[in-house]
A and B are shown apart, each in its own frame.
Chain A
């Protein structure tokens, strides 16, 4: 393909955008609104996920050791815990450290002069929250471990909730992705349909399919890009507002910082552009067959 042909494709694409001014605007609007809806659900969904992860990562196992253990045995226990698959991080909390922490929580004065009643312990983080119960059970079996705690029951319930929340988020997103594709390709199909004769004529005088297709693809890409740019602007402004509002009014929920959303919006931009190209490529297919 020659360079001048590529230049011709772009010239043609822009000329068509201007010629079909209103239709172009409608297409941009359709892309923008579809992506705003899709993006909103995406934002909700990734925040669901974020909150869920946040809660999940707070789940950890505490293993209290018997009073009788000595330093050597502590080392051995640590080694054994670490060798359980699924264990990510093991922190040793000595009697003394535990007391310090406890003092901070309840106040120094109250515990003045009392002998330290707290045992040595390990805090264990696991690779995936779903493994908590299993890992806890294994730790329980290690000699020298007195007791293991991990919020049994609560954890299982939590996982259940976050699991369904994620599934719901995914389902809603998938539905809106399909709806977006439908709206976009339908709108573009109208502009293509209005020019079906033109496409036929090009073919009759010897244009190849790709020669006819490229300006339409570029046009679709530009429409998609413009539409998703508008959607992105809306979403980012909206998200910023939401973020500030939530932070001010519901401080215990920490939404994903806006910076994290930039990556997703770049994804939306790519998606809109692709959808535009795909929509017009798909729509002209029928009219090329002459």
Chain B
């Protein structure tokens, strides 16, 4: 059977010797909603960075739709990234561009038609509730607002998988809920979701699959799980 994402014996040791992930074996199927939990420094961001090839694993293989992404040639990497919508923990918005331009840029990169861009971008920005900030630049936005722009950018191309690194990390509880509901809706329409988070209540309420990392090891993989840090 072809899994959407499969990690086989993956370890990551950063230069300098920090072991961020150790012997991770995990399969994620199409349409799943997966929470990635664990204390700070556990390796959640590293897990995510391996998926979109910001980092390469030190050992092990990672497959995306059956294709080994650790063996991609540099010119194939962009096409992998286009199938993933990533919300980065540090947002990574283009500082010179407005909210609208930042989101539109993701479509320009894939050479979408200007007509589609004009139609789609405002809709996605509305989904994340930022229609009133269309022409603001990132430095004029609060942390939570920037995070929502990053989410809109990840959504805009209808990727197969959305990977979000703490998408609610800077949001108040109400807005966090809005965002989670939005992600849940997107997931219901068939998009696979991987969300790293510290938001205990959200995880506990939503009862999705939970992967728990601890010191770089996968210590729990539970369907309809809860946050629960202690083992």
Contact = CB atoms under 8 A, between A and B. Distances in A.
Nearest to B85: A205
A19 interface: yes
A203 B109 CA distance: 9
Given A204-B86, A209-B75, A2 B109 contact: no
Given A19-B96, A198-B94, A204-B92, A211 B114 contact: no
B114 A4 contact: yes
Interface string B55-78: 000000000000000000011001
Interface residues of B, number: 24
Contacts, number: 52
Contact of A204 (B54, B74, B114): B54
A8 interface: yes
B113 A4 contact: yes
A207 B105 CA distance: 10
A8 B105 CA distance: 10
A19 B96 CA distance: 8
Interface residues of A, number: 20
A5 B79 CA distance: 17
B106 interface: yes
A148 B96 CA distance: 79
Contact of B111 (A2, A201, A203): A2
Nearest to A207: B109
Contact of B86 (A19, A198, A205, A211): A205
Given A198-B96, A209-B75, A204 B52 contact: yes
Contacts of B109: 202, 205-207, 211
A208 interface: yes
A135 to B, nearest CB: 61
Interface of B: 52, 54, 74-75, 78-79, 81-82, 86, 88, 92-96, 105-106, 108-111, 113-114, 153
The 8 closest A-B pairs by CB, nearest first: A206-B81, A206-B82, A207-B109, A208-B78, A201-B92, A206-B78, A205-B106, A5-B111
